[in-house]
Structure 1
Amino acid sequence: MDLRSIKTFRTIVKHKSFQKAAEELAYAQSTITMQMKKLEQELGVLLIERGKNFQLTEAGRLLNAKGEVLLKDYDILQELMADFIHGESGDIRIGVMEPTASYRMPHVLTPFYEKFPKVNVNIQIQSSRALVEMVKKGEIDLAICTAPDEISTLHFSPLFTEDVALLMQNSHPLANRESVRLEDIEDEMILITTAICPFRRNLEKQMIDKGLKPKYRMEISNMLALKHYVELGYGLAAVPIIAASPPPPGTVLKPLQDFQKELTVGLMRNEEKSYTGNAMTYLIDLFYKELKHQDESLQKK
């Protein structure tokens, strides 16, 4: 059944005239007549009573009522598809690690939604390792995370570095120092995240490289929760500065003087996948512009 024929039928009903419908639709009257005959043949039922006075059959009244809904849905579908083709609508799936997801991403998306209000952004918050696998499998389109350990079809573009400092209670002996070295915390009870967390792995590697053996008191899976456990005196924690600024009450952030390798966070993409659409292009450009700007602003503070 041709939607064009349904539109013609409803135009005839609106004017109660084949001739006026032909004028509105810019068709020859013979075309209108032919479309109606074909539509009735396809449906196997008479739609318009043949006679001097215009009158719909019961089937015609049903088609007129339901056809309105059908055509409205079709118009909406056409508009959605046109928006999608031009990148004005659709879904963009992004994976983000913490603390970027909580402290940086909300500000980045503000100008994006001002420009593309119809686009739905789906944000998955996972570890960097999980995000790498999700990009590989096509479960997300992009990821903001640390670089993958192995070489693959994924492309990683650095965006910013996540600076780390040591969070401790104000009453801790190390709190009186201007800065702290890694050797100073070898015998301290350290709060850590899971083994796959890049922040933990970075801290462990640097301590081991210096011949130090860190002592762990508690493993907490959520990076953002560490500061609250430090606040209650469970131990020290190396945390991203952005996630602990300002420090919780009764705590203080201290620079790690010999902590040389801050974490580089970047944009992860699949080189085997094409990235098209105005919205996607704008969002990727926004990541480079806004996240870099945030990083520069933090470094100046």
Structure 2
Amino acid sequence: MSVRFSLRQLEFFVAVADAGSLSAGAERCGASQAGVSLAIRDLERHLGVQLLTRRRAKGAVLTEAGTRVLLDARRLLGSADDLQAIASATTNEISGTLAVGCYVTLAPFVIPPVLDGFARRHPALDVRVTEGAADEMHGALLDGRCELAFLYDNDDVTGLSSVPVRTSRPYLILAADHPLAERESIRLAEVADDPLIMFDVPSAANAAQMLAEVGLTPRIRHLSSNIEVVRCLVARGVGYSILVQRWPTDLSFEGRPVVSRPIADPTRERRAVLAWPARTRLTRRAQALVDFAAETSV
């Protein structure tokens, strides 16, 4: 069966879907609004479905069919980009653009090696990383805005395939002069009466829940979604906290010392993964990042 639509038409459709209007999509593509509108109508005619609902002064909105087609349109454009990069490469170098998502609390641990080590290994590849909440990154994968994303495996990974990249266990942080600071490991019951400085993001170990599971009631002193605020308060002796990812320094943002100690009680591992839409063939550039992550445990 002959294909009756073009990659250019798909490019126009994706641009309008991303920009939210025909005029903005046309500007992104360096084309006229009339030309973009005509190309998309022709695409709709050949596909036999309406992809966009045009609303005066309200832009263009994806129809149900348009939402279904959008991901595959992105995949086709990505594959075409991959093919062009392979054809034009004089060696086995990987080129093109790789869009990567990253859950924001993982960003300090994975973005530097990706934009440094991985990018230097593939200098012809344009690596673009977007940070956001877990649901935002999940959505970016499913609608094709990102080829890959770094997430936690207990976040919503419905419809995704993944490989593990790093594993962590929850641990305690205390002020350097805390009475238990010299201990090799600490039971939760030994700190439960102290004020809890709670790192309040979905990816963090839920300290209150962990305490409740062993029959303890937390005394929450402060909740913060900023990990440096948590570490500063702990360093000042305001309370203790429970974190997941190991910070590379024993100093708070203010330069005060903190100590990290294992939790003696049984705890669940947290795994960070590199994920992509299930049943999707990875492009060469995406596979290269998967291989790099497995090799380096970013």
Letter in 1 for 2:132: Q
Render the CA deviation track for 1:140-183: whole Å, top value 9, x for unaligned.
22111211455621123222212332111122222243321111
Partner Cα distance (1:151, 1:97) in 2: 13
Would you say the 8 A contact 2:199–2:242 is kept in 1? Answer: no
- Taking a change above 3 Å as real, the CA distance of residues 226 and 205 of structure 1, as seen in their structure-2 partners, is same
Alignment match, 1:252: 259
The CA distance in 1 between the partners of 2:120 and 2:183, in whole Å, is 46
Q: What's the secondary structure of 1:183's corresponding residue?
A: helix
Query: Counterparts in 2 of 1:162-201, with a 5 A limit?
Result: 162-194=168-200, 196-201=201-206
The alignment's C-alpha RMSD in Å is 2.9
Structure 1 unaligned segments of length 5 or more: list them: 1-78, 295-301
**Structure 2 matches for 1:17-28, cutoff 5 A?**
none
Compute the displacement of 1:269 (Å): 1.1
Matching residue's letter, 1:213? T
| Residues 134, 155 of structure 2: 8 Å contact kept | no
Count, aligned residues: 211
The yes-or-no answer on 1:243 pairing with 2:247 is: yes
Q: SS at 1:93's partner residue?
A: strand
Shift of 1:289: 1.0
Tell me the amino acid that sits aligned with residue 130 of structure 2. Q
Indicate if the aligned counterparts of 1:99 and 1:243 stay in contact, CA closer than 8 A: no
Q: 1:214 to 1:129 in 2, by over 3 A?
A: farther
Q: Quote the offset at 1:109 in angstroms.
A: 4.1
Cα distance, 1:218 vs. partner?
A: 1.3
* Among candidates 262, 282, 286, match of residue 288 of structure 2: 282
1:259 shift after superposition: 4.2
Aligned 8 A contact 1:189 1:236 in 2: yes
Distance in 2 of aligned mates of 1:122 and 1:97:
14
Structure number with higher helix proportion: 1
Which residue number corresponds to residue 62 of structure 1? none
Any residues of structure 2 matched to 1:25-174 within 5 Å, and which? 82-83=84-85, 88-97=94-103, 100-149=106-155, 152-174=158-180
**Deviation digits for residues 166-207 of structure 1, max 9, x if unmatched?**
11112222224332111122222111222x522233x34332
SS at match of 1:243: coil
Partners of 1:223 and 1:98 lie apart in 2 by 11
Q: 1:270 aligns with which of 254, 272, 277?
A: 277
The 2-side partners of 1:187 and 1:108 are apart by 41
Alpha-carbon displacement from aligned partner over 1:184-239 (angstroms, at most 9, x marks no partner): 22222111222x522233x3433222122222111111234422232233321112
Task: Rate the CA distance shift 1:115–1:187 in 2: closer, same or farther, 3 A.
Answer: same
Q: Which has the larger radius of gyration?
A: 1
What per-residue deviation string (whole Å, max 9, x for no partner) do you get for residues 18-62 of structure 1?
A: xxxxxxxxxxxxxxxxxxxxxxxxxxxxxxxxxxxxxxxxxxxxx
Conserved in 2, the CA contact under 8 Å of 1:98 and 1:127?
yes
> What's the TM-score, normalizing by structure 1?
0.60
Contact preservation (8 Å) 2:138, 2:157:
no
Q: 1:153 to 1:241 in 2, by over 3 A?
A: closer
User: 2 CA distance for matches of 1:241 and 1:147?
Assistant: 14
Structure number with higher relative contact order (C-alpha < 8 Å, ≥ 6 residues apart): 1
Structure 2 spans left out of the alignment, 5+ residues: 1-80
Once the two structures are overlaid, the 10-residue window that deviates more, 181-190 or 246-255, is 246-255
**Aligned residues: percent identity?**
21
Q: Distance in 2 between matches of 1:209 and 1:100?
A: 26
Q: 1:205 aligns with which of 204, 209, 229?
A: 209
